[in-house]
């Protein structure tokens, strides 16, 4: 983490901490100062540009206005996209040769949270050292633009269409979705227009659900974090496949024609095997410490190189860049294809799966069932200070449990980088052992 930034930008409950209007103005000033000075934009013939996108949260209007106030007062022109996935902001930032891209979103969190994700001129999320410099600039004095040098703000009326065309171009022109019936759950979020439109224009019969955002229903019992309704709709409509995205469209969970759900590990297995067979896979596939042991064993059986990173798509990307890889992901549904798109993109990942579905003429269940996951459960404990994980008594008790598990399972305890909770992950070959271990760990953390 770097200064005010967590594992995925700045995030908090709205009107608290960094998600207050006055703080966001200050953040825009600091980010603008960094990119204007670093890129020597004072000497450009045109004003530096910042692309600002958002999801469908009610608070997005407030934060968008605060960002515009900060950026224009330091002399940057703002291009406002309206609701669009994070990957759309990444794409447009690079396409428009902007100095900076900003996505207003708390991703999979409820409506009362919001966040800020920053993208550099290359379209990739900012690296830790840049976020730290921006955090430091927040603490000092920032010079504002002269009256004649203020920036301007205007809305992009074609942002959705541009991103739809970008997405369509990533689907093989030799293939068609004419015969495929798809249920797509957009989580009442940023992809509520782009995902159904892209799939329709590629020929699919699309049944969109959770595409009526009201500012408060984003991720509410829908989307990638609650895909049970998707499974019901797939079966009710006799669809070939179901696609669930999250609030900002960077996660993907799939549902096969039988109503069975498949997480990011299943998607990673399918893409990795295809890329390995076609000799287009570079470097090791990168998962995280949450990646299922069953997937790791599948990669070993198929001689596919694999490595683990810390949890979070930014850390996956760092590993991919370091090792020259071109595929990574995590069970939550973040799939990274850096040669195709600049950040996690649920729609693009889904299109790659749909290509294989059509090309191989398989059912979704046959395509997605490549390995048997080891029983794994994730529990979130709230209202517990993260410092408990650093206590010697807790460390000792956890170590005893790990030793008792031995080779039969894995334990991961960590504070969330996006929510005020401690996450407990337990994986073991017997489900009874998983439940028993989670109960023991929960008791240890709660009593300390």
Q: What are the residues facing 243 on neighbouring strands?
A: 184, 254
φ/ψ of residue 429, rounded to 5: -75, -15
Element housing 35 (H / E)? helix 21-38
303: alpha, beta or left? (left if phi > 0; alpha if psi -120 to 50): left
Q: Which of 290, 269, 185, 180 is nearest to 227 (CA)?
A: 185
Q: How far apart are CA 367 and CA 375, in angstroms?
A: 21
Tell me, rounded to whole angstroms, the distance of Cα 72 from its chain centroid: 28
Q: What is the SS3 string spanning 197-247? A: HHHHHCCCEEEEECCCCCCCCCCCCCHHHCCHHHHHHHHHCCCCEEEEECC
Element housing 321 (H / E)? helix 313-323
Task: Give the Cα-Cα-Cα angle 418, 261, 277 (nearest 5 degrees).
Answer: 95
Instruction: State how far the alpha carbon of 122 is from the alpha carbons of 36, 101, 105, 250, 251, in Å.
Output: 15, 10, 20, 18, 21
Known catalytic residues? 107
294: alpha, beta or left? (left if phi > 0; alpha if psi -120 to 50): alpha
Q: How far apart are CA 67 and CA 84, in angstroms?
A: 17
């Amino acid at each position: 983490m770097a200064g005010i930034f967590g594992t995925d930008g700045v995030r908090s409950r709205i009107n608290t901490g960094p998600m207050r209007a006055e703080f966001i103005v200050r953040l825009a000033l600091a980010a603008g100062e960094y990119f204007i000075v670093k890129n020597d934009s004072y000497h450009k013939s045109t004003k530096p540009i910042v692309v600002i996108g958002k999801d469908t949260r009610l608070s997005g209007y407030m934060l968008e206005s605060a960002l515009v106030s900060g950026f224009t007062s330091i002399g940057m022109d703002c291009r406002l996209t309206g609701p669009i996935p994070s990957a759309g902001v990444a794409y447009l930032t690079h396409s428009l040769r902007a100095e900076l891209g900003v996505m207003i979103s708390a991703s999979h969190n409820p409506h009362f949270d919001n966040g800020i994700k920053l993208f550099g001129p290359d379209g990739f999320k900012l690296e830790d050292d840049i976020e730290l410099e921006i955090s430091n600039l927040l603490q000092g004095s920032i010079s504002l633009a002269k009256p004649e040098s203020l920036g301007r703000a205007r809305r992009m009326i074609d942002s959705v269409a541009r991103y739809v065309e970008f997405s369509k171009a990533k689907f093989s022109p030799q293939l068609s979705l004419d015969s495929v019936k798809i249920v797509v759950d957009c989580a009442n979020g940023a992809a509520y227009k782009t995902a159904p439109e892209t799939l329709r224009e590629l020929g699919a019969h699309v049944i969109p659900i959770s595409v009526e955002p009201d500012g408060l229903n984003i991720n509410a019992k829908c989307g990638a974090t609650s895909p049970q309704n998707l499974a019901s709709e797939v079966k009710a409509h006799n669809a070939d496949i179901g696609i669930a995205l999250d609030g900002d469209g960077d996660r993907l969970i799939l549902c096969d024609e039988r109503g069975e759900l498949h997480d990011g590990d299943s998607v990673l297995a399918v893409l990795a095997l295809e890329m390995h067979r076609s000799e287009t896979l570079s470097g090791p596939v990168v998962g995280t410490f949450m990646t299922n042991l069953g997937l790791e064993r599948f990669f070993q059986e198929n001689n596919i190189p694999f490595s683990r990173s810390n949890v979070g798509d930014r850390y996956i990307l760092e590993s991919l860049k370091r090792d020259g890889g071109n595929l990574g992901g995590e069970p939550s549904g973040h799939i990274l294809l850096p040669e195709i798109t600049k950040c996690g993109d649920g729609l693009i990942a889904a299109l790659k799966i749909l290509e294989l579905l059509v090309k191989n003429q398989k059912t979704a269940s046959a395509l997605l069932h490549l390995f048997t996951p080891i029983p794994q459960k994730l529990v979130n404990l709230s209202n517990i200070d993260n410092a408990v994980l650093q206590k010697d008594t807790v460390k000792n008790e956890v170590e005893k449990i790990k030793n008792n598990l031995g080779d039969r399972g894995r334990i991961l305890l960590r504070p969330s980088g996006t929510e005020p909770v401690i996450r407990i992950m337990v994986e073991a070959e017997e489900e009874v052992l998983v439940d028993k271990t989670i109960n023991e760990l929960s008791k240890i953390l709660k009593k300390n």
